[in-house]
Each structure stands twice: as structure tokens, then as C-alpha cells.
Amino acid sequence: MATGTERQGTDRAAFGGVSRLRGVVFRYVTFAASLFGILSLAVLLGYVFWDAFGLETAAPAWYATMVVTVVLPVAGFLLYARRNPLAGRTALELAATATGGVLSGFALVVVLEVIAGPGLWFAYFLAMGVPLGALYLYGRRVEASWTGLAVLGVLVAGPVVGTALLGPLSRIGGFLGGPGVYYLSVIAPTALVARHVVDEYLDGPNGNYVALATLVAPILAAPAIDTVAVLSRSVWLLFFPTLVVPFSIVAGRNLATPGRRVGVAGPLAFALGVGLLAVVPDLLGVAGPSPWFDWQYVTSAPSQTAEQAGLYPAIIGSIFMIVLVALLTLVLGVGAALYLEEYAPSSGPAGAVTQFIRINISNLAGVPSVVYGILGLAVFANTLQFGFGTVATAAFTLSLLILPIVIISAREAIRSVPDSLREASYGMGATRWQTIKNVIMPRAIPGILTGTILALGRAIGETAPLIMIGVATTKFSPPSGLFGKMTAMPMQVFTWSSYPSEAFQHGVVAAGVVTLLVVLLTMNSVAILLRNEFERGDY
């Protein structure tokens, strides 16, 4: 757009004094207005981080150390990344893979090790995971039309068989022990998935080598892991597929590309700086901060004493709940989006029904969350008897809450697959389902995952629906199972925020807020990474 202000220089008097000032002022007013919200939030975040990390006790020398070890290197790297965006993207990729890997590793440990236990997990893995994997592999080799139906059959019959044979099946798991169970049920499938992803989406390394490395590396590293006291072999095997494999692939790819190698320096400098900051002030005898947000906080139960209070049961509850919500919304949301985009008739009386469903979904996205709480109370807690304040009730309620958002973003992702690809597939005689499975889904999955992760971020911060379905305001142990009572991070923040004492208001709650924000920030950066990496619009 051409700017109008430059044009009237010559004939200003003839136009009766067109003022340049007014336009310039307006321009800066609009710019200031767009910064208002962002700056307000930045100030508030500054306050809450200040409180959570107890920075007021730190000596000036500590701040000086921080500036030298962390702030200057990071600022320098950011300045460099402005001129070399590729380095900035590399840094973002590495940081998001690392933090996302840690977070999903925690989620896996919580669900498999803390809540289910290896025996129970292995029983259901044998009843469902093994047949599904076998059918998938067979279906990839031979285009047999019955495999898809058999998958549906396993999905229905698997849980029944698993529950019926729970005793004998979990004894097999007990015989193998935790590490054995996880090697067979987590590492082996990871090798297959890694091979598929590397061959399908990334050009470069051979998928077979990646798969082989995935199988061998955890065993070779086991002696080294045994020397670390905090890491049990089970935890190592669960963090391996979520953190080590993706991070190695991303780091390896970046190191192999000449233009991207510099980008590795950013995260490396940050990690090194934080490490130095933890060690150097102690050696010099400088007073550091007294953080509320520390290891003790993350691993202990709530308490009336601020110094002993922790978020552990709430963290476990939130993670367990969000894993269930993710499974439910992915299946239901993608199914509904596929129907609306690929199957639904757009004309005639059936078309009117489709139109009604579409309008209905967009209106559901605007229903206040507290109303979903009332829905969950009536349907899941009372009618279906899932119980008040249980993990199942919370997961189903929040799934319904974010389902409209997931459907809308999944529809956009599916719609962005060009029609020419569909028509080419149909032209070669593929059926609708074959087209969806082989043409549409591989291209739509990154967009669907991005939208789903953003929606899950909304679900993990919701509080009002949890209050309505009777989630406990404070609980001292993590949920015992699917129908165990739970509490969640935002619930605990809400409870503590009504404690009048200064230590709670400016310490314990601030630390809870920081925990919640760290989780959200990680999820969002992983979503942005997925969008940047896979949605390049190359068709």
C-alpha cells in the first residue's frame, strides 16, 4: 500500500492544511495500543517469576554473575539470530524438542509407572498393542481390505480380553520385570515409529539405521544409567523414546546442515550458563535467591506450612487427566472432522443436517466453560456414575469442552490438502477410506497435532468445570486410577490463592502459577515447532 502522507507535500496549502502530524500520532497510538496487552502481561509475569524464584534475597553479586553467565550469551545469540534466522529456528527446534521431550517423558512415567504399573500396562499391551501392531505391519505389506475392520475389532475386543485375562497376562509382565516390559512395549514400537517418521518426513538418514540405533542404544547405555541414583532403568527406558530419540534426530539433522550448525550454540550456551549460575555463586559465597519453585515443591504434597507445601498430587492428576483428554479428543475430533470434510453431503436435506452440525460446533466453542462443568456433573458424575471429582469424569468433561476447537482446527488441516491429490487418488481407483488413509491423513496430521496441542493447553488450565464436577480442592496423594479422586494444578492454585498469608500469596501460589506456565509454554512451543517444521505448503 502506498502511503498517502508523502503525496501531498507540494500542494499542502491548496488542500487547506492537511496535517501530517495527525497521521503520525495516530500511527504511534495504534502501535502503542497493540503493545499495551503484551506489556501488561510481561510486567505481571515479571512479578510472578520474581516471587516464585524468591529473587529478593539474592545479593547484587549474584545478579552480576547471572548477567555474565546467562543474560549476555542469550542476548548475544538473539541479536545474532536476528541476522541469521536459520540459527534462531535451529535453537527453537532444539529447545522445544528438549523441553517437550522432558514433559512427555514425565507424562509417560506418570501414566505407566506411577498409576498403571508395569504389570497392568503389559496386560493391556498384550491384549491390544500387539495385535494392533501386527495388523498394521501386515496391512502395510499386503493391501488387505480386512485389516482395517480387524483393527476396529481389536479396539472393541482388546479391553474386554485384557480385563478378563488380567491375572495371567500381568504375571507375564511381573516375570519380565519393569525394564523388560518397557523394552518390549515402548522401545520396540518406538523403533518402528522412528523408522517410519524418518523415512516418510525427513530426508537424510536411513530409517533402518535409526531403528537399529533405537533398539541397541538403551541397552548399551544401561551400565552408565545404573551409576545415576535418581534414574532407575524403567525411567530411563521411558525417557528414551520421548527425549533421547527425538532430540538425537533433531540435533543430528541440524549438525549435518552447515547453515544450521551455529544455531546449536544458542541452547548450548544457555544450558552452560544456567549450570555455571548454579555453581559459581556458591563457590564465591554469594547469597543466591531462595526459590519457592524447586525440586521439593514439585515432589511433595500440599501442606498448611508454606515451606513444606508442594504440588506433586496436582501435577500427577493434571498429567493423567490430560493424557486421557488427548486420546479422546484426537479420536473423536479427527473422526468428526473427517466426516464433515470428506463424507458429509453438502446439498439436499442431508446437506441441511451437515450445515446444522457445523453451526452447532461453532456455537459449542462459545459456551462458557462453567456450563460444561454443569454438563459433566449431570452426565458423567450423576447419570453414568463415573463418580464426583474422579479422573474419568474430569477427562470426559474437558474432552467435550475442547472438542469443538479440535474439530475446527482438524477441519482446517484436512481442507488444506489440495483437491488435486484427492482426485488423483480416486482416479487410480482408490476408495474413500484408502484416500483418507494414504493421501489425506499423512499430510493433515501435523496440522491436526498443532491444533490439538493448543487445545490441550486450554484444557490443562481450566478450573471452573473441575470445581463443578466436584474435584477436591486439596488432595494429599495422587489419583489411584481411572476412577480415583483427583486434583489438578489450576485447582490447587485456586485453593491456595484464597489463603491470606503472605508466604502463600507471594510464594507458594506464585510457584504454582510458574509450574502451570512452564507446562503451557512447552506445549505451545512444541505446537509452533510442528507447524513450522511440517506445514511448509509445498504443494
Per CB under 8 A, contacts with other proteins among 3-62 are: 3-5, 7-8, 15, 18, 20, 22-23, 26-27, 29-31, 33-34, 36-38, 40-41, 44, 47-48
CB-wise, 485 or 506, nearer to other proteins?
Answer: 506
Closest CA to 242 of 96, 106, 89, 95: 106
Q: Burial level of 531, CB count in 10 A (0-12/13-18/19+)?
A: middle
- If you ran DSSP here, which 8-state letter would residue 57 be given? G
Q: Is 532 in the site for other proteins (CB under 8 A)?
A: no
| Nine-digit cell string for 515 | 509450574
Per-residue interface string for the shown chain with other proteins, residues 140-169, x marking contact by CB under 8 A: -----xx-xx--x-----------------
Task: Round to whole Å and give the CA distance between 77 and 263.
Answer: 9
Binding part of the chain for other proteins, among 92-100, 233-241, 291-299, 453-461 by CB under 8 A, reads: 453-461
CB-wise, 36 or 539, nearer to other proteins?
Answer: 36
Q: Is 537 in the site for other proteins (CB under 8 A)?
A: no
Q: Is 96 in the site for other proteins (CB under 8 A)?
A: no
Q: Is 173 in the site for other proteins (CB under 8 A)?
A: no
The single residue among 70, 80, 461, 533 that binds other proteins, judged by CB under 8 A, is 461
Helix 312-338 and helix 489-497, axial crossing angle in degrees, nearest 10: 130
Per-residue interface string for the shown chain with other proteins, residues 371-390, x marking contact by CB under 8 A: xxxxx-xxx-----------
Binding part of the chain for other proteins, among 178-186, 269-277, 278-286, 335-343 by CB under 8 A, reads: 335-343
Which positions ≥6 away from 127 have C-beta within 8 Å? 158, 159, 161, 162, 165, 169
Per-residue interface string for the shown chain with other proteins, residues 484-503, x marking contact by CB under 8 A: ------x--xx--xx-----
Binding part of the chain for other proteins, among 157-165, 218-226, 277-285, 520-528 by CB under 8 A, reads: 520-528
Contact 373, 459 (CB under 8 A): no
Which positions ≥6 away from 157 have C-beta within 8 Å? none
Q: Where are the beta strands (DSSP E) in 409-449?
A: none
Alpha helices of 165-244 — where are they, by DSSP H? 166-182, 188-201, 207-226, 233-239
Shortest distance, CB of residue 66 to other proteins, whole angstroms? 23
Task: Round to whole Å and give the CA distance between 399 and 392.
Answer: 10
Binding part of the chain for other proteins, among 92-100, 108-116, 127-135, 340-348 by CB under 8 A, reads: 340-348
CB-wise, 109 or 321, nearer to other proteins?
Answer: 321
Binding part of the chain for other proteins, among 108-116, 165-173, 212-220, 370-378 by CB under 8 A, reads: 370-378
Shortest distance, CB of residue 322 to other proteins, whole angstroms? 13
Chain-centre distance of CA 339, in angstroms?
26
Task: Round to whole Å and give the CA distance between 337 and 412.
Answer: 9
Shortest distance, CB of residue 26 to other proteins, whole angstroms? 5
Q: Is 293 in the site for other proteins (CB under 8 A)?
A: no
The continuous run of DSSP H or E covering 494 comes out as helix 489-497
